[in-house]
Amino acid sequence: MAQILGENLTLGYEGKAVVRRLNFTVEAGDCLCIVGENGSGKTTLLRTMLGLQPPLEGRIRFGDGLTRRDMGYLPQQTEGQRHFPALVKEIVESGFQGRCGLRPFYTRAEKAEARRMLQKVGAADLAGRCYRELSGGQQQRVLLARALCAARKALLLDEPVTGLDPKAAESLYALIRDLHAQGITILMITHDLGPALPLATRVLTMGGEGGAV
Amino acid sequence: MIATLQYYWTFPFVRYALAVGVLIALCASLFGVTLVLKGFSYLGDGLSHVAFGAMSVATVLRFTDSMLLVLPVTVLAAVLLLRGGRRAGIRGDAAIGMLSVGALALGYLVTNLFSAGPNLAGDVCSTLFGSTSILTLTRGEVWLCAGLAAATVGLFLLLYHKIFALTFDETFARASGMGAGRWQLLLAVLIAVIVVLAMYLVGSLLISALVLFPALAAMGVCRSFLGVTVCAAVFAVVCAAGGILLAVLAGTPVGATIVAVNMAGFALFRLAGAVRGGVL
């Protein structure tokens, strides 16, 4: 079966539906681009997939070796985060929290893994830098490395290039293409279809009834 | 001056005050960093007013150990503010403001209506500003405070990475399945315990100083989260010890003196940060 299957989903907050009767499938190795106007429920859909809120109706099923825990998440940054006093490696390592359980500290293997993930996103030299001194594009790479520490099979990206200059956006898209080429399933909310569309194997248009795939 | 200090040192209440004061300031500064970064700077203030209200009720009811009432009530308020607030439809800062001023007014009202002691103004003043209460701690209270403070510091060390993850990005933490909810709950309880302890040290109006100044001073000069945490802890310990000794020497109110020393330290750190950053 498909990795992620949305069946007859109605999504929203406090009983108010934003999205009605949405159906979609994501196969292993897909790159699904989610487009739609503001308020059409794109982020709500990601949050529901991550289990941060329950669907009002319908359900999301996982299959083909994928569980909710195998999805790494790149949320939109908040203002407070941009000025957060922390080293890059402290942030990347926090991606392992989901596996820690009651264990209070990170293992040596996890720390090495965090360094490898930074390398993977082309930010190996940033490990000892202060997060708030980085550019927007560098910060996104760091958060992507953290998402990869949390999960390896699928990435959920919420408007990854928002606020980046065109050059940084282009190089972030190139990175996402690389990760996709390595077999990671990508689900991405995006506003500018132009550069994102060549990456996409499926496009989900939100807004209105049903959602076209 | 050394001779005077040595003379005072022979009194156990001075040693008690110093030990308890330093421990409480340490706890408050550790959790202060996460409160400031999460945008809950005023939580300490709000909780302390709740603690004041509970304290007044406990006094009126002639509780022998006021902590028995104050602690549970404050913990409950902390949990409601940190977890339930967003569902009630009232924004976080407004909820803290309402609870804070409501508890303060009710506490004062209750004390006035059913005054239990002969010196009402003095009682209220010492609860609000902690004027001398720290110098009148009994041995049992010292051990209780020390035990609670030590447990809090220990838990902070064990939870350090979880606190970092929750502080930096709560949404990601929830999505990662680390059980963000229950850690948040534990955090709320610990913060309430610290506020109640701190009320004995600086009084309920001045608690925010112990939470804010060390964190803000450290954030101005340190680049890593670990650095900020350690720096805030050292800052708090030095300022609390300095403030208590100064208060004993000069005969000034303990709480206000500690806060004044914190302010001076903060100004110094800002200056150092500006010099290093090339602004000056």
Beta-bridge partners for A33:
A188, A203
Instruction: Tell me whether residue A71 is in a domain.
Output: no
The rounded distance, in Å, linking the Cα atoms of B176 and A100 is 10
Lowest pLDDT segment from A2-16, A72-86, A114-128: A2-16
The residues on B that touch A, with CB distances below 8 Å, are 37-39, 157-162, 164-165, 168-169, 171-178, 219, 222-228
Interchain contact, B178 vs A98, CB within 8 Å: yes
Residue A142 lies in a domain: yes
Last residue of a domain, one of A123, A151, A179: A151
Q: In what order do the strands lie in the sheet with A202-205?
A: A71-74, A154-158, A185-189, A31-35, A202-205
How many angstroms separate the CA atoms of B180 and B169, rounded? 11
**DSSP code per residue over A132-201:** GGS-HHHHHHHHHHHHHHH-SSEEEEESTTTT--HHHHHHHHHHHHHHHHTT-EEEEE-S-HHHHGGG-S
What is the average per-residue pLDDT within B96-102?
Answer: 87
Q: Are residues A11 and A59 in the same domain?
A: yes
Residues A114 and A135 in one domain: yes
Determine, for residues B177 and A69 on separate chains, whether the beta-carbon distance falls below 8 Å. yes
Let me know whether A161 and A146 are in one domain: no
CATH code of the domain in which A191 resides: 3.40.50.300
pLDDT, one tens digit per residue, over B172-187 is 998 888 888 888 889 8
Which residue in the set B159, B168, B172 is minimally distant from A86, CB to CB? B168
Q: Is A73 part of a structural domain of the chain?
A: no
What is the DSSP secondary structure assignment for residue A53, as one 8-state letter?
Answer: S
Q: Residue A72: inside a domain, yes or no? A: no
Summarize pLDDT for A101-160 with one digit per residue, the tens: 888 899 999 999 999 999 989 999 999 999 999 999 999 999 999 999 998 889 999 999
> For residue B129, is pLDDT > 70?
no
Q: Is pLDDT of B274 > 80?
A: yes
Is A47 in the same domain as A144? no
Specify the pLDDT at position A208.
Answer: 57
Contacts of B168 in chain A (CB under 8 A): 81, 84, 86, 91, 94
Higher pLDDT, A196 or B129: A196
Same domain, A28 and A85: no
Do both A136 and A159 map to the same domain?
no
Same domain, A89 and A136: yes
Q: What is the pLDDT of residue A176?
A: 92
Distance from CA of A85 to the nearest CA of B (A): 5
Round the CA-based radius of gyration of chain A to a whole number and report it.
Answer: 17
Same domain for A30 and A57, yes or no, is yes
Percent of chain A at pLDDT exceeding 70 = 97
Give the model's confidence band at A210: pLDDT under 50 very low, under 70 low, under 90 confident, else very high.
Answer: very low
- Cα gap A154→A184, rounded to integer Å: 5
The pLDDT value recorded for residue A141 is 93
Q: Search chain A and give the residue with CA nearest B178.
A: A98
pLDDT in tens, B213-244: 999 999 989 999 999 999 999 999 999 999 98
In a domain, A160, yes or no: yes
For the cut 80, the answer to whether the pLDDT of residue A207 exceeds it is no
* Three state DSSP letters for chain B: CHHHHHHHHCCHHHHHHHHHHHHHHHHHHHHHHHHHHCCCCCHHHHHHHHHHHHHHHHHHCCCCCCHHHHHHHHHHHHHHHHHHHHHCCCCHHHHHHHHHHHHHHHHHHHHHHCCCCCCHHHHHHHHHHCCCHHHHCCHHHHHHHHHHHHHHHHHHHHHHHHHHHHHHCHHHHHHCCCCHHHHHHHHHHHHHHHHHHHHHHHCCCCHHHHHHHHHHHHHHHCCCHHHHHHHHHHHHHHHHHHHHHHHHHHCCCHHHHHHHHHHHHHHHHHHHHHHHCCCC
Give yes or no: residues A163 and A128 share one domain. no
Is the pLDDT score of B65 beyond 80? Answer: no
Final residue before a domain boundary, out of A101, A133, A151: A151
Which residues of A fall within a CB distance of 8 Å from B160?
104
- Which pLDDT value is given to residue A158? 92
Quick: pLDDT tens for B245-260. 998 888 888 888 999 9
CA distance A81 to chain B (A): 7
CB–CB of A90 and B226 under 8 A?
Answer: yes
How many structural domains compose chain A? 2
Say if A74 falls within a structural domain.
no
Render pLDDT for A15-59 as a digit per residue (tens, 0 to 9): 788 888 888 889 888 999 998 888 888 888 998 998 888 899 888
Tell whether the model's pLDDT for residue A211 goes beyond 50: no
Domain boundary at A136, A151, A166, which? A151
Q: In this structure, are A84 and A141 located in the same domain?
A: yes
- What confidence tier does B13 reach under pLDDT thresholds 50, 70, 90? confident
In this structure, is residue A30 part of a structural domain? yes
Contact A104 B176 (CB under 8 A): no
The whole domain housing A59 covers 1-66+153-213
Sorted by sequence, the CB contacts under 8 Å of residue B151 that are 6+ apart come out as: none
Residue A2, pLDDT score: 84
Which among A29-43, B1-15, B58-72, B110-124 has the top mean pLDDT? A29-43
Q: Which domains does chain B have, with CATH numbers?
A: 2-275 (1.10.3470)
User: Can you tell me the distance from the alpha carbon of B198 to that of B210, in angstroms, rounded to the nearest whole number?
Assistant: 8
Q: Check whether B93 has a pLDDT greater than 50.
A: yes
Q: Is the pLDDT of residue A209 over 60?
A: no
The pair of three-digit structure tokens given for residue B91, joined into one six-digit string = 């924004």
Q: Verify that A120 and A86 share a domain, yes or no.
A: yes
Q: How much is the pTM?
A: 0.88
Axis-axis angle for helices B12-37, B43-60 (nearest 10): 130
**Residues of B whose CB is below 8 A from A100:** 161-162, 178
Name residue, tokens 């925010």: B208
Has residue B150 got a pLDDT over 60? Answer: yes
Q: Is the Cβ pair B175, A94 closer than 8 Å?
A: no
> Does residue A86 lie within any of the structural domains?
yes
Q: Verify that A28 and A123 share a domain, yes or no.
A: no
Mean pLDDT across chain A? 88
> Which amino acid is residue A203, in one-letter code?
V
Of residues B92 and B224, more confidence is placed in B224
